[in-house]
Amino acid sequence: MFDQHADAQEFVLDGTEVRQRTLKKSIECNGVGLHSGAKIKMLLKPAGANAGIRFIRTDVAAADAVIPARWDRVRDTRLCSLLANDAGVSVGTVEHLMAALAGCGIDNLDIELNGAEVPVMDGSSQPFVALIEQVGVVDQDAPRRVIKVLKRVEVGFGAGHVALSPADMQIFDFEIDFESDVVNRQKISLPVVNGAFCKELAKARTFGFLHEVEALWEAGLAKGGSLDNAIVVGHEGIMNEGGLRFDDEFVRHKVLDAFGDLYLAGAPVVGRFEGVCSGHAGNNKLLHALFADDTAWTWDVVRGDAVRYAVDGGIHADKSAEIRVAV
């Protein structure tokens, strides 16, 4: 049975390990919710070692405000990854921010929001990476724990599937296949180590087809969607001025989504992820399958030779000014 805080004291610092990290100081941003269209103010705040990542709604009663960023709190995956607590208070579209936190090696953070959705920004993780780079990060007095995959776990559905298998680092293999001359079939295999996330994935934007976007608008959904925060594929091609940021931006964004969804495990998942025609629902089902089998995974720390595979976004921590936060 999965327990995010089990054996938290089992791993001790010996000077060779990667340490947990948080932000040096708080930073705020404003934007709109992709699906709600609401104006959202978000504040990223440093959190103490072993605190994990939490969303905190400032527009509801304090007793009901905290929503842990965990796989077992996912309540809806139809349009995004939406989390909810026992009081029914929710926060949606968390995947792009979670991907940025994972890619920059942020282990502990409080995320305050005055609404029910993370602002979409430009539809990628890059604006969140920029916020992290702006304030910097700091090492904490605890080793970074990771979830090490011990054997292959697979979930199939229709024409697609997702799987995790053992590997020394985080590797993402993804394949998409759309009935579109613009998107068509795309494949990628990418080790997400060191600064690879920021270089190869962070700028990849969410995307949709014009007829799908119009249907969502008619249904009162995607109220905040526009060419400023999503790639839109129309009848004659890409509608966005400037076109694509990568030739294969579509499949790169699917990897970004999966990277963020998997970080809801509560720690980096070290292994090879394989996704074929998958999305948020498949990613969450995969975590459920992984944690349902105690022989498929174990807690570990990143130390020794494995340090070279650590994910840090290329952002170096300030080791001289550890932040201690009461939790």
Domain assignment present for residue 68? The answer is: yes
Q: What is the pLDDT of residue 189?
A: 98
Q: How does 86-124 read in b/e, with b if 16+ C-beta sit within 10 Å?
A: eeebbbbbbbbbbbbbbbbbbbbbbbbbebbbbbbbbbb
Domain assignment present for residue 46? The answer is: yes
Domain assignment present for residue 324? The answer is: no
Q: Write out the residue range of the structural domain in which residue 283 sits.
A: 19-309
- Report the DSSP beta bridge partners of residue 311: 194
Output helix, strand, coil percentages for the chain, rounded to the nearest 5.
Answer: 25, 30, 45
Domain assignment present for residue 11? The answer is: no
Cα separation, 271 vs 166, whole angstroms: 5
Domain assignment present for residue 316? The answer is: no
Domain assignment present for residue 319? The answer is: no
Q: What is the pLDDT of residue 309?
A: 76
Q: What is the pLDDT of residue 10?
A: 64
* Residue of 324, 312, 320 lying closest to 133 (CA atoms): 312
Walk along the chain (327 residues) and give the pLDDT tens digit of each residue.
455 545 444 677 777 889 999 999 999 999 999 988 999 999 999 999 999 999 999 999 999 999 999 999 999 999 899 999 999 999 999 999 999 999 999 999 999 999 999 999 999 999 999 999 999 999 999 999 999 999 999 999 988 999 999 999 999 999 999 888 889 899 999 999 888 999 999 999 999 899 888 888 888 878 898 999 999 999 889 999 999 999 999 999 999 999 999 999 999 999 999 999 999 999 999 999 999 999 999 999 988 777 877 777 777 787 644 544 433
Residues annotated catalytic, as ranges:
280
Q: What is the pLDDT of residue 4?
A: 54
Q: With contact defined as beta carbons under 8 Å apart, do 53 and 44 qualify? A: no
Q: What is the pLDDT of residue 8?
A: 47
DSSP letter assigned to residue 202: T
Residue 195 makes CB contacts below 8 A (sequence gap 6+) with 312, 313, 314
Q: What is the pLDDT of residue 3?
A: 56
Cα separation, 84 vs 292, whole angstroms: 21
Domain assignment present for residue 315? The answer is: no
User: Any idea what the CATH number is for the domain that residue 26 is in?
Assistant: 3.30.1700.10
Q: What is the pLDDT of residue 327?
A: 34
Q: What is the pLDDT of residue 218?
A: 83
Cα separation, 251 vs 188, whole angstroms: 7
Domain assignment present for residue 57? The answer is: yes
| Overall number of domains in the chain | 1
